[in-house]
Amino acid sequence: MSKLLLRSLGAFPLFLVLSIQAQTTTFYVSDIDASHGEVIEVPLSVEEFREVAAAQLSIKWNPEQLEFLGVSDLALNATEDGNFNLRRSEAGTLSYSFIDPTLQGYELQNGSELYHLRFKVLAQAGDEAEVLFAEQPTRCVVGNPQGTEKAAEFVGGTVRVIAGEVSNPPAEVQIQINPNPFSQTAQIVLDVPARVSADLNVYELEGRLVYNKIIDLDAGRNLLPISAADLPAAGTYVVELSAGELRLTRKFVFTGRK
């Protein structure tokens, strides 16, 4: 990371002021499926990215499960040398920061990707490798053009390691949320190899059940809507599909009704 950028960040008061804006900007790592030995790109995306003049964050992973290969597809005119601290990447940690030199603030469409993390998957089939936000070596914080700290949420993701090639996965149940995060409606995408009746539950992270529905799934792809009206408040939730001994879960973020 350039000394100039560090000096700029050090001079910018957003890291010293505790005033928080109501609008929440979300940074999130997408969940993806991969196979052992595959080289993957894990995107870091944003939601409600408005009037963002500066930010800094740290990401961590288990280097015994994911071998870091670099960053790519950088947005906001970022560079590997200027905006990233990769010195601890072999130990499973990197930090990233940026500042708008005009202090006008950046704005990106929901779902925009700031960059991709490139990994080689070392984990074995059946493992789940988490890519999480951390407070070390750099605290996660976002600032606006007025120099105050914006409300922000940082949601990690999971690399689920499956058997075989991802381009031709085995016939098994899979669950995804699209888009994730969302503010109004989303689709729960369920791929099942045969007809099945299942329970669909949504929980708060603390474990409280907030949504339940018994569903009959057809073989193949099923699309189930979920909306703001189904959830009590903005936050991170877990959707669970259960049928007999089968139990699959996915995290998702509801950013709040607009």
pLDDT tens per residue across span 34-86? 888 888 889 898 888 999 999 999 999 999 999 999 998 899 999 999 999 99
Which pLDDT score, from 0 to 100, does residue 52 have? 96
pLDDT digits (tens, 9 = 90+) for 112-158: 889 999 999 999 988 999 999 999 999 999 999 999 999 999 989 88
Which helix (H) or strand (E) is 82 found in, with range? helix 80-83
CA 16, CA 3: separation in Å to the nearest integer? 20
Which pLDDT score, from 0 to 100, does residue 165 have? 53
CA 185, CA 225: separation in Å to the nearest integer? 7
User: Which pair of structure tokens corresponds to residue 143?
Assistant: 């600032």
The answer to whether the CB of 115 falls within 8 A of the CB of 73 is: yes
Following DSSP, what letter does each residue of 212-242 receive, concatenated? EEEEEEPSEEEEEEEEGGGSSSSEEEEEEEE
Nearest to 153 by CA among 79, 225, 55: 55
Task: Over range 168-188, report the average pLDDT.
Answer: 74
pLDDT grade, residue 31 (50/70/90)?
confident
pLDDT at 10 over 70: no
**Burial of residue 17 (number of CB atoms within 10 Å: 0-12, 13-18, 19+):** middle
pLDDT digits (tens, 9 = 90+) for 78-119: 999 999 999 999 999 999 999 999 999 999 987 788 999 999
